[in-house]
Structure 1
Amino acid sequence: MKTLLNIIWLVLAGLWLWIGYAIAGVVMCILIVTIPWGIAAFRIAGYAIWPFGRQVVSKPTSGAWSFLGNVVWVLLAGWWLALEHLLTGLVLCLTIIGIPLGIANFKLIPVSLAPLGKEIVDKP
């Protein structure tokens, strides 16, 4: 079931979300100082294109630096990626088959706002 959901996700939302995160990652890497944010953007891009069967969990070792980094991330790229998730989720919720995908989009908003201090793991 998760493979079917991932394929539908890829066609309806995943590709566009992946492009958004990839653009954010490239911009962050070009700016040199923001390379850690670029790496986080690429990590979340991989999750945004194929999310079902995996989950985002907080790293137990993340601390104040992750919080401060996430504040910078929200100012630089997080707000428009969260907006992308919100708009895509609203459009997907207009159809019956898109409602679970829209809800999954809404669940990605917190990680789009705060990717540092998170890791992606397979669901048990």
Structure 2
Amino acid sequence: MKTILNILWLVLCGLWMAIGYAVAGVICFILIITIPFGIASFRMANYALWPFGRTIIRSPGSGTPSMLGNIIWLIVAGIWLAIGHITTGLALCVTIIGIPLGIASFKMVPVSLLPLGAQIVATDDPRAAPASPAMQ
């Protein structure tokens, strides 16, 4: 099922969102200091091409540099990419078949705003499972 959803996603919106992330990544590679933003943008472009079967987890030890980087990213590119995900999600939710794709687009908004300190993992990865109440 996830292969079918990924193919539909790629055709309807994944390619365009990945191009947006790739453009942001190329722009970030212009200056040496913004190369980490470019790397994060290319990771997100890969995720935007084929999102089903993968999920985002936050790195607890990313720290202050990641937070400061996310603030800069938010101002420079994050808002525009998030607007793209929201617009795409709303357009996809207009049809019944597009609702799962629209929900996936909405799930990508937080990581498009704050990509540093996030990891993309397979959904069957043990780190992707939510912590059970007994382990907290």
How far off is 1:64 after superposition? 1.2
- Higher radius of gyration, 1 or 2: 2
In 2, Cα distance between equivalents of 1:22 and 1:79 = 15
Give the distance between the partners of 1:32 and 1:84, measured in 2 at CA.
27
- Please show how residues 61-100 of structure 1 align to structure 2 within 5 Å: 61-100=61-100
Gaps of 5+ in 1: none
d(CA) in 1 for partners of 2:68 and 2:37? 12
Using the TM superposition, give the Cα deviation of residue 31 of structure 1 relative to its aligned residue in structure 2, in angstroms.
2.4
Q: Equivalent residues in 2 for 1:1-124 (5 A)?
A: 1-124=1-124
The secondary structure found in structure 2 opposite 1:56 is: strand
Aligned structure 1 segments of 4 or more residues deviating by more than 4 angstroms: none
RMSD of aligned alpha carbons: 0.7
Among all aligned residue pairs of Structure 1 and Structure 2, give the percentage whose two residues are the same amino acid: 64
* Residue range with higher mean Cα deviation, 22-31 or 57-66: 57-66
Give 3-state SS (helix, strand or coil) of 1:52's partner: coil
Aligned partners of 1:93 and 1:17: how far apart in 2? 17
CA drift of 1:32 comes to: 2.3
Q: Distance in 2 between matches of 1:65 and 1:36?
A: 11
Instruction: Specify the SS of the correspondent of 2:8.
Output: helix
| In structure 2, distance between residues paired with 1:2 and 1:60 | 28
Aligned pair count reads 124
C-alpha distance in 1 between matches for 2:4 and 2:61:
34
| TM-score, normalised with respect to structure 1 | 0.98
Instruction: List gaps (5 residues or longer) in structure 2.
Output: 125-136
- Residue type of the alignment partner of 1:119: Q
**Equivalent residue number for residue 130 of structure 2:** none
Corresponding letter in the other structure for 2:97: I
TM-score, normalised by the number of residues in structure 2:
0.89
